[in-house]
Amino acid sequence: MSARITASVYTSHVPAIGVAMDLGKTELPNWVPLFAGYEPARQWITDNPPDAVVLVYNDHGNAFSLEMIPTFALGMAAAYEPADEGWGARPVPTVPGHPELAAHIAQSVIQQDFDLTLVNEMTVDHGCTVPLSIMFGQPEEWPCPIVPLAVNVVQYPVPSGRRCLALGQAIRGAVESFDEDLNVQIWGTGGMSHQLQGPRAGLINPDFDHMFLDRLLNDPVGLSEMPHIDYVREAGSEGIELVMWLIARGAMADLDGGPAPREVHRHYHVPASNTAAGMLVLDNP
Ligand code: DHB
Ligand code: FE
């Protein structure tokens, strides 16, 4: 008996998507196509509820600041309060943690030579809470515990795609050696193409985004070799958030000698706020 990684979910975390939900604006015509594209994923997760989610995301200067910049920060806490810049903390439930699974992942992944930072107390911002809202809607309580993994993609140097893919492989090994019968999903969040600042603010590159979705599914190892400068040139300065999707992809069975994942759902919509919003759901049936 052990835990298994059964599926991976990849989604943008645009804060305006969370605000649209929080303010009840999802039925407005400009939001309908985006939210309609999330429906199949919500149905799928209702039919395939995880016991826990390892949620890979980035903090945006809320839990961490320039005073302290951990590259890979694993949340060990029993609970995480929402926090956010700009609009303020979202009115969403406290995010429940899974300290036992987190402690096991820490033990296993650090022994596999990844120097994680362990965080016993932190808040979670839209990077974490918007994907939860996209997948689970607006429940009174989040339906399962979350192990948050905060990745620095805000302040250079940020980790390479290769490192992210390998970390995902290590997380798979960790989860699969956790001595409890748990159905675990891993989510990679952030992206897709976007630039929020400077002369190229508003940059969106659908060709790049579709290429990224295709190669994430079919050529994750090749995609992991893509240098940072290509993300920045093609997907904008904040497009580098996409490197986090490789962590979730690395945790799928095919990178451990198993079968290729199945594409359950794909959705792409521009724009959400200033950003290309994408989603991919993969499982190992
Ligand atoms: C937007 C997107 C982000 O990923 C983010 O962290 C902040 C803002 C946006 O499109 O507005
Ligand atoms: Fe972001």
The set of residues, in sequence order, having a beta carbon less than 8 Å from that of 108 and lying 6+ positions away, is: 170, 173, 174, 177
User: Among all ligands shown, which has an atom nearest to the Cα of 273?
Assistant: 1
pLDDT of residue 16: 96
**CA distances (Å), origin 93, targets 51, 90, 139, 143, 144:** 18, 9, 8, 10, 12
User: Is the CB of 239 inside a 6 Å radius of any atom of ligand 1?
Assistant: no
Q: Using CA atoms, how far apart are residues 51 and 6, in angstroms rounded to an integer?
A: 11
φ/ψ (deg, to 5) at 91: -80, 65
Q: What is the pLDDT of residues 44-79, one digit of tens each?
A: 999 999 999 999 999 999 999 999 999 999 999 999
Q: What is the pLDDT of residues 196-224, one digit of tens each?
A: 999 999 999 999 999 999 999 999 999 99
Q: Using CA atoms, how far apart are residues 269 and 34, in angstroms rounded to an integer?
A: 6
User: Is the CB of 13 inside a 6 Å radius of any atom of ligand 1?
Assistant: yes
Catalytic residue, candidates 13, 98, 194, 269: 194
The set of residues, in sequence order, having a beta carbon less than 8 Å from that of 214 and lying 6+ positions away, is: none
Q: Using CA atoms, how far apart are residues 63 and 82, in angstroms rounded to an integer?
A: 10
Q: Looking at ligand 1, which residue's alpha carbon is closest to its atom 3?
A: 14
Q: Using CA atoms, how far apart are residues 85 and 1, in angstroms rounded to an integer?
A: 42
pLDDT of residue 285: 74
pLDDT bin (cut points 50, 70, 90) of residue 86 is confident
210 is catalytic: no
Q: How many domains, in total, are found in the chain?
A: 1
Going by the DSSP 8-state scheme, the letter that residue 68 receives in this structure is: B
Catalytic residue, candidates 13, 60, 98, 126: 126
The CATH code of the domain that includes 113 is 3.40.830.10
Q: Tokens 């198993």 identify what position? A: 258
98 is catalytic: no
Atom of ligand 1 nearest to the CA of 272: 10
pLDDT of residue 1: 80
Amino acid at 40: P
Neighbour count for residue 141 (Cβ, 10 Å): 10
pLDDT of residue 85: 85
User: Is the CB of 238 inside a 6 Å radius of any atom of ligand 1?
Assistant: yes
pLDDT of residue 242: 98
Q: Using CA atoms, how far apart are residues 36 and 42, in angstroms rounded to an integer?
A: 10
Amino acid at 262: R
Q: Judging by beta carbons within 10 Å of its beta carbon (0-12, 13-18, 19+), is residue 43 exposed, middle or buried?
A: exposed
Atom of ligand 1 nearest to the CA of 274: 10
Of all residues in the chain, what percent carry a pLDDT higher than 90?
A: 98
* For ligand 1, mutation pick of 60, 275, 279 (most atoms within 8 Å of CB): 275
226: preceding bond cis by omega (within 30 degrees): no
pTM of the model: 0.98
pLDDT of residue 87: 80
Q: Which domain holds residue 97?
A: 4-283
How far apart are the CA of 242 and the centre of ligand 2, in A? 10
How far apart are the CA of 11 and the centre of ligand 1, in A? 12
User: Is the CB of 14 inside a 6 Å radius of any atom of ligand 1?
Assistant: yes
